[in-house]
Amino acid sequence: MMTGKSVKSVAKAVGEYQYPWQEKLARYKDELSKGVWGYWELGAWKRLGISARHRACLRKVVLVAGEDWTYDPERKEMKTKRKGHKCDRIVAQNRATTAELMQKMPQMLADYRKRRWEKKMNEEDAKAEKN
């Protein structure tokens, strides 16, 4: 009879201790809601009462248990602008501009030859009028 009672008490103790994270979460609830790293109070920075390592451990256990963790800060929008060296971007722009200009090159040369020919004809006409 005695062993049956002791087994029940042990089972009850194990059953109660199955979710120790709930006790920790209840104990640090107000601390966790103040921020991730700390908070400003009366113009002074105060760190949290729970360390970052223990906070991360508690967070992991809560998430593994299938509960919601609402104490993380909101995620910022991801940057769409890619990093890199400015010289690489400029080289790419220059190559694109050069390719575009090479498409227009035959017309540009024809216009240049036409202008030069007209200038030469005007000079010859001016010389002919002087004489």
User: Hey, what are 99's tokens?
Assistant: 């390719």
On whether residue 89 sits in a domain, the answer given is no
pLDDT of residue 36: 75
pLDDT of residue 83: 79
Residues 6+ positions from 73 with CB-CB distance below 8 Å: 35, 36
Residues 109-126, mean pLDDT to the nearest whole number? 94
On whether residue 118 sits in a domain, the answer given is no
pLDDT of residue 47: 84
Rounded to the nearest integer, the mean pLDDT of the chain is 82
Nearest of 122, 19, 126 to residue 62 by alpha carbon: 19
On whether residue 109 sits in a domain, the answer given is no
Q: How many domains does the chain have?
A: 1
On whether residue 41 sits in a domain, the answer given is yes
pLDDT of residue 16: 55
Domain range for 6 is 2-64
Is it the case that residue 2 has pLDDT exceeding 60? no
pLDDT of residue 12: 57
Model confidence pLDDT, tens digit, residues 13-63? 555 556 677 778 777 777 777 777 778 889 888 888 888 888 888 888 888
pLDDT of residue 9: 63
